[in-house]
Structure 1
Amino acid sequence: MPSKKFNTLVIKIGSSSLTDPQGKLDLKNLRRIASEIAELIQQGKKVILVTSGAIVAGSEKLGITKPKTIPEKQAAAAVGQARLMRQYEKAFEEFTLPVAQILLTRDAIADRERYLNARNCLTTLLKEMVVPIVNENDTVAVEEIKIGDNDNLAALTASLIGADLLIILTDVDGFYMKNEEGIPYLVPEIKKITEEVKEAAGHPSTQLGTGGMITKIQAAEICMDAGIYMAIINGRNPGLISKVLEGEKVGTIFIPKTTKLEARKRWLAHGLKKEGTIIVDPGAESALIKHGKSLLPVGILKVKGKFPAGALVSIADEDEKEFARGLTNYSSDELLPLIGKKGAGEVIHRDNLVIL
Structure 2
Amino acid sequence: MGFTIAIAGATGNVGREMLNILEERGFPADTIVPLASRRSIGQEVSYGEKTLKVRALESYDFAEADICLMSAGGTVSKEWSPKIAAKGCVVIDNSSAYRYDSDVPLIVPEVNADAIEGFTRKNIIANPNCSTAQLVVALKPLHDRARIKRVVVSTYQSVSGAGKDAMDELFQQTRAVFVADTLENKKFPKRIAFNVIPHIDVFMDDGYTKEEWKVLAETKKMLDPKIKVTCTAVRVPVFIGHSESVNIEFENPISADEARQILREAPGCLVIDKHEDGGYITPYESAGEDATFISRIREDATVENGLNIWVVSDNLRKGAALNAVQIAEVLVNRSLIQPKKQAA
The TM-score normalised by the length of structure 1 is 0.27
| RCO comparison, higher one (Cα < 8 Å, 6+) | 2
* Structure whose alpha-carbon radius of gyration is higher: 1
The TM-score normalised by the length of structure 2 is 0.28
More strand by share: 2
